[in-house]
A and B are shown apart, each in its own frame.
Chain A
Amino acid sequence: MKTIVKISFFCWLLLVLITPLRSFAGFPIGKYRFVVVPTFSYYHQKDRFDDKDNVIKGAPGTGFTSYASNLYVGYGLSRRLDLIVTVPYLYQQNTIAPGNTLVDAGLGDMTLGFSYNLINSNYIRFFSIGVAGIAPLYKSENEISPLGLGSYGTEVKLMYSGALPKDVASKGYFNTEFGYRHYYSTQGPDQISLTASVGYPVTQHDQLSLDILLFRSFSSNKTFNSNIYAAHDFFFFKPQLNFGHQISRRLSVFAGGFFVPFGVNTGIGYGGSVLAVVKL
């Protein structure tokens, strides 16, 4: 059971850490247009933070590695309303002891939802709300699976995005998101997140961006037990630096790297992601 708990924990962490947060946030996609974002991510961890914020070294020869891909598809139903679907596919290697590696692969938690632009400030900045349902695309046993939380959920996000104020920078963009997730399981969890991103063009076709994610997951049951989602209560901070290149007006690619400098009950992970933004 302990092994399953670990795998599920890693899996959950993986979803949070490498889900393509560079989706389109509060920016409306635009009526009748599609945005497709395929992402490939790599994540590795060996050590972890304990529940007192202390670093716990992983046993020699152990570690967790994940390769994940995610497909984001957004469609502008109107100028304000977008339909958004994300489908992840996960491949994980969890080495629990030298020579003993557990491998799991399959579809993860799909999200299907809408984003609605509430306030538009001169078509420069956008304040939007997103609501989505979360559905596991895998089989789970007692709501435990290496591929996700094993239960349905709901997500609500408030997003504010747009061009940087002129007195801050003559060009560039920002995105802020406040998200809340609830999983319909007896032990939750409930999760809140705050994301802040700033992007700045360095040439006509290249940009640098910095994403910062604060993530907190909590449950009324803080004791460790066989139900991982009820048992875990954790927090992490994750900065990610990205480089983006516009190949054409319809295609851009991004590559970035991240790490987790501090957290509670979470892995000291690092990794990277590569994604393409296709506008149709």
Chain B
Amino acid sequence: MKVSRYFPASAIFLLMMSFCMSAAYGQEETEDTGDLVMKAIPQNKEAVFNGNEKIRYRLKVSNNTDIVQEGRLSYQVTTDEGKKVAYDSVHVKIKGRGDKDLLFNIPVKTTGFYRINFMVNMPEYDDTMRRVFGVNPEKIRSQLHKPSDFDVFWKQSMEQLASVPPDYRVLERKDLSTDRKKVYAVEMRSYGGLLIRGWLVVPRDGKKFPVHYRVPGYVVTLAPNMDNDDFIAFDLNVRGNGNSKDVINIGTDNYSLVNIENKDKYIYRGVYMDCLRGLDFLYSHANLGIDTSKIFVEGGSQGGALAVVTAALDKRIKLLTMQVPLYADIHDNFAISASYDEQVFPFKVFRRYKAEHPGYTWEKFYSTFDYYDPQNFAPMVTCPVLMGIGLLDQFCPPRCSMALFNHISSSNKEFVCVPNSTHEVNFNYFMFQNLWIREQFRIP
């Protein structure tokens, strides 16, 4: 009896391996189309290096025309504030339908994030590919500009919040509920007596659930989150967001400017307190199946900032996950934004305000905003933390997000860099976040 007659194992094994490998590498970037296509691949997948290792990029250029292309390929590295630190250029000739692979060693060792632009200059083709890489991001340090009365200010804010009767209302929305989940519209009074609303989605399949408490991005409407079968989803629309616009209903151009010249009345004082009031709601409604020992707060962009603040001010939060936290390290964000060719949020709005208000100074801006910079809350965060950032993000520059992250007191903290993302993370991050939360809560 021959083995192969009954068990063509080697062939099957090879097939299986081939399938595995193709699936594993299937997640790589898809091919771009165009006459000349550049692909820059950092040696480390996340484009984050430690200072001891060589920083290498492989630049692959594909000529999709039938004509020979000849010219220069170059790269330029600048700091995230625009200071030039490295440059190199090579002459290349790429035959029709041919490829050129180049390996660039980038002579950078100093901690920080760097912009690297790859440029192709040919008679019929000019293009620049912009990328960002990091060196020792865990070692990034920033100055905390924490006002001396910061803690008192927020203690008083919380006391004022506590003095507002919440007047919770919970209404089951049968029209939105499904056979698997009950949807509740909830509302409550928050800081200053404002009415805010949210959505609570409770799986029918079980008696007690951990809670995914989501806080919103900048003037973003949160709707009932029907996506998770294993968590209660609580989505809170803070004042001026979603269905909480009874009093404050301002567009994105001005939302962050409301009372910016008065630290006591600045809109985010109430917004931050809204997040704590949402937590009060969860704690007072355990009867709906809420496992108050397992509440995690999550948010992206403005939501990332709100999540940090919530976890800092209220220890009832057991996990914090955030993506691209807005306003982090606002002083350095200002410095970095000064190097942009075109202004983006948030300093696009703040600079506009300053230009429109003669006499308004950056000192005045910081005299308010230093009370609200989420970085100043970071040392108060002691629960496990996961953060995701996009390296091409200009709204929340990676250096600022990492500065905030490095100020977090918790020793159980992780971050994920998504190299080719701007103000967002990717699917892979959220898959990891899901795994991370289950790991932290020890849930199946």
Contact = CB atoms under 8 A, between A and B. Distances in A.
A264 B1 contact: yes
A279 B442 CA distance: 10
A32 B436 CA distance: 11
Contact of B7 (A31, A158, A160, A214): A214
Interface in B418-432: 427-428, 431-432
A123 B442 contact: no
A131 to B, nearest CB: 17
Contact of A216 (B9, B24, B26): B9
A121 B24 contact: yes
B34 interface: no
Given A216-B6, A216-B9, A279 B444 contact: yes
A85 interface: no
Chain B interface size band reads 20 to 34
B442 A51 contact: no
B16 interface: yes
B439 A32 contact: yes
B23 A125 contact: yes
Nearest to A160: B20
B354 interface: no
Contact of B24 (A127, A158, A233): A127
Interface in B3-56: 3, 6-7, 9, 12-13, 16-17, 19-20, 23-24, 26-27
A204 B180 contact: yes
Interface string A209-220: 000001010100
A119 interface: yes
A250 B7 contact: no
A192 B9 contact: yes
Contacts of A119: 20, 24
Contacts of A171: none
A250 B444 CA distance: 6
Interface in A70-129: 79, 119, 121-125, 127
B444 A32 contact: no
Interface string A236-251: 0000000000001110
Contacts of B12: 178, 194
B435 interface: yes
A30 interface: yes
A279 B435 CA distance: 15
A250 B442 CA distance: 11
B424 to A, nearest CB: 16
A42 interface: no
B167 interface: no
B442 A121 contact: no
Interface residues of A, number: 32
Contacts of A248: 206
Given A121-B23, A160-B19, A30 B439 contact: yes
A176 interface: yes
A233 B427 CA distance: 49
A248 B444 CA distance: 10
A214 B16 CA distance: 14
Interface in A188-228: 192, 194, 204, 214, 216, 218
A123 B428 contact: yes
B230 interface: yes
B435 A216 contact: no
A103 to B, nearest CB: 33
Contact of A32 (B3, B435, B442): B442
Contacts of A33: 439, 442, 444
A188 to B, nearest CB: 14
Contacts of B432: 123
A122 B444 contact: no
B3 A218 contact: yes
Contacts of A32: 439, 442
A33 B443 CA distance: 8
Contact of B206 (A125, A178, A233, A249): A249
A67 interface: no
A40 interface: no
Interface string B247-280: 0000000000000000000000000000000000
Contacts of A178: 9, 12-13, 16
Given A178-B9, A249-B443, A30 B435 contact: yes
B431 A123 contact: yes
Contacts of A30: 435, 438-439
B205 interface: yes
A229 interface: no
A254 interface: no
A235 interface: yes
Given A121-B26, A160-B19, A194-B12, A79 B435 contact: yes
Interface in B353-397: none
Contacts of A218: 3
A30 B7 CA distance: 34
A127 B444 CA distance: 20
Interface string B317-337: 000000000000000000000
A122 B19 CA distance: 15
A30 B440 CA distance: 10
B96 to A, nearest CB: 34
Contacts of B13: 158, 178, 194
Nearest to B431: A123
Nearest to B7: A216
A123 B205 CA distance: 25
Nearest to A205: B205
28 contacts: A31-B439, A32-B442, A33-B439, A51-B1, A119-B20, A121-B24, A121-B27, A122-B27, A122-B428, A122-B431, A123-B435, A124-B431, A158-B13, A158-B17, A160-B16, A160-B23, A178-B9, A178-B12, A178-B13, A192-B7, A194-B7, A194-B12, A214-B9, A216-B3, A216-B9, A233-B1, A235-B6, A249-B206
Given A30-B438, A31-B439, A249-B443, 7 more contacts: A79-B439, A123-B432, A127-B20, A160-B19, A192-B9, A233-B1, A264-B6
A-B interface, 3 closest residue pairs, ranked by CB to CB distance from nearest: A123-B431, A279-B444, A235-B6
